[in-house]
Amino acid sequence: MEIDPFIFRLSIFILAIFIGYYVVWSVTPSLHTPLMSVTNAISSVIIVGAIIAALAGSSEDLFNIANIFGYLAILLAAINIFGGFLVTQRMLAMYKKKKDKK
Amino acid sequence: MISVNLLAIFYLISGVLFILALRGLSSPETSRQGNFFGIIGMSLAIVVTILSVGNFSSGFIYLLIFLVIGGSIGAFIAFKIPMTAMPELVAGFHSLVGLAAVFVAISAFLNPEIFKLGTPGNIKIASIIEMSLGAAIGAITFTGSIIAFLKLRGIMSGSPITFYGQHYLNLFLGLILIGLIYYLCKSQVDTWFWLIIGISLFVGVLLIIPIGGADMPVVISMLNSYSGWAAAGIGFTLENTALIITGALVGSSGAILSYIMCKGMNRSFFNVILGGWGATEQKSSTSDKEQKPVKNGNADDAAFLMKNASSVIIVPGYGMAVAQAQHALREMVDTLKKNGVKVSYAIHPVAGRMPGHMNVLLAEANVPYDEVFELDEINNDFANCDVAYVIGANDVTNPVAKSDPQSPIYGMPVLDVEKSKSVLFVKRSLSPGYAGIDNDLFYRDNTLMLFADAKKMTEEIVKSL
């Protein structure tokens, strides 16, 4: 009997939680705000689902209700991706060491 | 067109790049590179998805239009937003992730064929469960974040809103949600699905309204975590590795931050979530308030004390963010340093309205990050320091947390400000802080109160230095 692909995905999920656990504990507390904004940006990778929802399906019926939700989700996720990464970049650029200044 | 297996490999690569993005944040030097990895991972995921669908008809044009519009809005916000508004911004972004998750779940439910999940009315049971969970958590994240946004922005009062039977109502609604998901699996009627989303939207509001302003660091981290779990739920539905990995990363990241914040207040997670802490304690403490003498000072006194000190520790809090005093503060510190005074900054884990809030503001004011210390790193130094300059912080310095087991904040880790030779306390009035308890520090002999707006007072001190 073959293993259900769901089990593979579940394994990836559980292992990724552990990776997240150890990686996030190593984040320095002074960078916790950029951490939040960058996690925000990467969770918008949900845009891949939105792209499939918007593009796939029959092409003669471009704006059926499912596609429209896909386009709206693309819009929201795009705001988040650009906003999240750029604001993180802006914040990180401000963190300077003492020596750099002199 | 890309084969399914190749596509899965690319998603795995972008998942790994996201892990590296978070890893980079372990130090400010590597953080910029980390952010770059994140951007590459995201671009990769988007490009291969478009290629895999391989539909470059008019639909593709619309996709680009929406991408560009959304991207410009995001970029505009990112460049315009003042650093003091960062908590609101993050809350606002969380709400968008939540809503996007809901939208993707809706389109998967209405048109399951494109995701290869079955046909409408006959979707695989596992997919139904995954997409309803994704939609429910997404909806809770959406409305919860909006409430958090309104509270942080000051549009809605930051005081907790509680009513009788609140927790039972939440429990009841939670049970209804489980029941609805069960019925949706059995009959796949549209109505159940819409009801799940509707009730979840309502639950999101109910969950956040009882939580007070100063508990916002926990709320933001918690919503961060939720947005991750919502993404993971959708990732399972769409069988997409990049989404599953990212969801797990973000989910655990938010959970860890919530834990750190709760620990910083010595409260259990449930205690914060159930809310209403400040509201009940406030009454008991204001009733037995007695007039105790305080020493009142002005900018000249403060300038004199600090100029003649050999070391000064600055303790910033939310008041500094409200008054936007960080630039004035840096100016003051520069002048002090010219006079040979050693200055460092002490940051309590829950200072401000989100994790790391104070650090970002100080970084904005060009304070080098190696002068800024965490609670554990600097707490012993207060004993050897001449002046502690408390600007906009209150509860996190209250010695009562160490001495009085009756106090609601007893056991909370606090900065040992009272151990320094003298304490300068910039505050607008003697009113108690968020926890609603009097700060013992105000009445100590070595405390000098500076009653003024944090920014104005700091500017005046700069002048008299």
**Quick one: three-class SS letters along B92-130?**
HHHHHHHHHHHHHHHHHHHCHHHHCCEECCEECHHHHHH
Mean pLDDT to the nearest integer, B300-315: 87
Residue B36 has a CB neighbour count (10 Å cut-off) of 16
**What is chain B's mean pLDDT, rounded?**
86
Handedness of CA A23, B243, B360, B86 (dihedral sign): negative
pLDDT over 90 percentage in chain A: 60
Tokens 């990769």 belong to residue: B44
CA distance B176 to B155: 31
pLDDT tens profile B371-404: 899 988 898 888 888 889 998 888 888 888 888 7
Buried b (16+ CB within 10 A) or exposed e, A3-13: eeeeeebeebb
pTM for the model stands at: 0.89
B285 pLDDT above the threshold of 50: no
- Any chain A CB within 8 A of the CB of B338? no
CB of B225 within 8 A of CB of B255? Answer: yes
A102 pLDDT above the threshold of 50: no
CB-closest option in A37, A45, A98 to B246: A45
Residues 394-453 of B with CB under 8 A from A: none
Per-residue confidence (pLDDT) for residue A99, from 0 to 100: 56
* Ranges A64-78, A88-102, B54-68: which has the least confidence: A88-102
CA distance B12 to B34: 17
**What is chain A's mean pLDDT, rounded?**
87
* Ranges A76-90, B261-275, B296-310: which has the least confidence: B261-275
B416 is catalytic: no
Residue numbers in A near B68 (CB within 8 A): 78
B315 pLDDT above the threshold of 60: yes
CB of B386 within 8 A of CB of B312? Answer: yes
pLDDT tens profile B222-257: 999 999 999 999 999 888 888 999 999 999 999 999
Per-residue confidence (pLDDT) for residue B408, from 0 to 100: 73
C-alpha to C-alpha distances, B8 to A38, B210, B302, B303, B320, nearest whole angstrom: 23, 43, 63, 63, 48
Mean pLDDT to the nearest integer, B128-136: 92
* Ranges A56-60, A84-88, B335-339: which has the least confidence: A56-60
* Ranges B37-41, B137-141, B182-186: which has the least confidence: B182-186
Amino acid identity of B228? G
- pLDDT band at A13; cut points 50, 70, 90: very high
pLDDT over 70 percentage in chain B: 94
B411 pLDDT above the threshold of 90: no
**Order of all β-strands in the sheet with B342-347:** B372-374, B342-347, B311-316, B387-391, B422-427, B447-451
Mean pLDDT to the nearest integer, B416-437: 79
CA distance B26 to B34: 10
Residue numbers in A near B38 (CB within 8 A): 38, 41-42, 85, 88
How distant is the alpha carbon of residue A64 from its chain centre?
Answer: 27
- Any chain A CB within 8 A of the CB of B354? yes
Mean pLDDT to the nearest integer, B347-357: 88
CB of B339 within 8 A of CB of B309? Answer: no
- pLDDT band at B265; cut points 50, 70, 90: confident
How near does any CA of chain A get to the CA of B295, in Å?
34
More confident residue, B437 or B138: B138
Residues 261-280 of B with CB under 8 A from A: none
CB-closest option in A5, A16, A87 to B78: A87
- Any chain A CB within 8 A of the CB of B103? yes
B163 pLDDT above the threshold of 90: no
- Any chain A CB within 8 A of the CB of B15? yes
- Any chain A CB within 8 A of the CB of B239? yes
pLDDT tens profile A23-64: 999 999 889 999 999 999 999 999 999 998 888 765 556 667
How near does any CA of chain A get to the CA of B80, in Å?
9
Per-residue confidence (pLDDT) for residue B435, from 0 to 100: 64
Per-residue confidence (pLDDT) for residue B89, from 0 to 100: 93
Buried b (16+ CB within 10 A) or exposed e, B380-417: ebbeebbbbbbbbbbbbbbbbbbeeeebbbeebbbbbb
Which residue out of B288, B300, B376, B395 is catalytically annotated? B395
Per-residue confidence (pLDDT) for residue B441, from 0 to 100: 81
More confident residue, B219 or A63: B219
Mean pLDDT to the nearest integer, B168-180: 90
Per-residue confidence (pLDDT) for residue B281, from 0 to 100: 42
- pLDDT band at B120; cut points 50, 70, 90: confident
CA distance B245 to B228: 10
